[in-house]
Amino acid sequence: MKAIVWTNYGPPDVLQLQEVETPVPKDNEIRVRIHATTVTAGDCEMRTLKLPLFLGLPMRIYAGIRRPVRITILGQEFAGEVESVGRQVTQFSVGDRVFGAPGFGLGCYAEYICRPESEGDGVLANMPANMSYEQAAAVPFGAMEAQHFLQRANIRERERVLINGAGGSIGTFGVQLAKAYGAEVTAVDSAAKLEMLRSIGADRVIDYTQEDFTRSGESYDVIFDVIGKSPYADSLRSLKPKGRYVLANPKLSHLFRKLLGSNSDNKKVISGSAVRTVRDLEFLSQLIEGGKIKTVIDRTYPLEQAAEAHRYVETGLKQGNLILTVG
């Protein structure tokens, strides 16, 4: 099969189109013919391993000290069609349209992937009926990340929610989910993304290059920082009593300050890795089928142009999701 192989740590050109062995499903696995996957900022960070030391070092030790060995194909989410099933599989059949996340092993920049039908490291479920493969491919990572953190924030109706870095993969789903929970949403990002954010339901938008939301005098019940760039102390001061400061991508300094305590007024700091379950993916499917959330797609590239897709994501201009089509 064709796959984009991660040959080294470095610039996009380390991603090379190669022929690799087609995976064979085990008795408890299905083989999915991938139709679409995504390129996220996280994929680009993984490719270079330019991560905080507490993340980058263990990842390099696992993946390979000098070059990737244990993980050679990137890609965190996929949508496709069940092409074959192991003899113990009972929940899926050949021809089913499915989407999912492979977990720590990655592997979605390829024509095929094998996944166990049972929940474990990763998730797998039937796609919403009203989604294309391109639209569905962005849900198992971006939407599930947003859902995990916003559920932990326990958003209540009519609360004021600010999302910093709202224009990307996680943020665009976060805006829509917060609205689905009944919140009033303020979205923060660059000027070019503000009209798109209004179109998906943001009640108010802020261009971060022109206004610092922590100095506006406004206060919020929840501040959801997708990108980890909001000032820690100032963000806490911008919370109402019992407010929640949610960090999807915290810096090491954020984590240290969290250990020292949040703030007065029972303010809470929420961080950690997202937990993905089939139940959560099915919940998102219900919202999608009900028209509550949708996938924002900026551009699509064929799998063969994965390196070019990575270059575009690294510009920071991506609005919503970037899709790789396969086959």
Are 174 and 153 part of one and the same domain?
Answer: yes
Lookup: tokens for 85: 């099933």
Q: Is the pTM of this model over 0.85?
A: yes
133, 140 Cβ separation under 8 angstroms: no
223 and 240 part of one domain: yes
Specify the CATH number for the domain of residue 242: 3.40.50.720
Judge whether 289 lies within some domain. Answer: no
Count of structural domains within the chain: 2
- pLDDT tens figures, 118-174: 877 789 999 999 999 999 999 999 999 999 999 999 999 999 999 999 999 999 999
Tell me how far apart the terminal alpha carbons of the chain are, to the nearest angstrom: 10
| pLDDT value at residue 250 | 67
pLDDT for 249: 79
Tell me, what's the pLDDT at 162? 98
pLDDT at position 186, please?
98
In a domain, 113, yes or no: yes
Structural domain range at position 87: 2-138+295-325
Cα separation, 272 vs 320, whole angstroms: 23
Please check whether residues 7 and 130 belong to one and the same domain.
yes
Q: Estimate to the nearest angstrom the gap between the alpha carbon of 247 and the chain centroid.
A: 14
- Per-residue pLDDT, 54: 67
149 and 255 share a domain? Answer: yes
Q: 222: which 2 tokens? A: 């929840």
CB 239 within 8 A of CB 220: yes
Q: In the chain, which stretches have pLDDT less than 70?
A: 53-54, 250-264
Residue whose structure tokens are 């919140």? 183
Residue 44's pLDDT is what? 96
**What pLDDT shows up at residue 226?**
96
Say which CATH number the domain at 73 has.
3.90.180.10
Shared domain for 149 and 235, answered yes or no, is yes
User: What is the maximal distance between C-alpha atoms in the chain?
Assistant: 61
* Separation between Cα atoms, residue 285 and residue 137, nearest integer Å: 12
**Rounded CA separation 167/180 (Å):** 17
Residue 256 · residue 194 · CB < 8 Å: no
Whether residue 276 lies inside any domain: the answer is no
Residue with tokens 């102390």: 233
Q: Are residue 149 and residue 253 in the same domain, yes or no?
A: yes
Q: What pLDDT does residue 57 have?
A: 82
Whether residues 102 and 145 fall in one domain? no
Euclidean distance between CA atoms 208 and 308, whole angstroms: 27
236/134 same-domain check? no
Residue 32 lies in a domain: yes
Fill in the amino acid letter for 182.
G
Q: How much is the pLDDT for 282? A: 94
Residue 45 and residue 32 in one domain:
yes
Q: Which H or E run includes 84?
A: strand 78-85
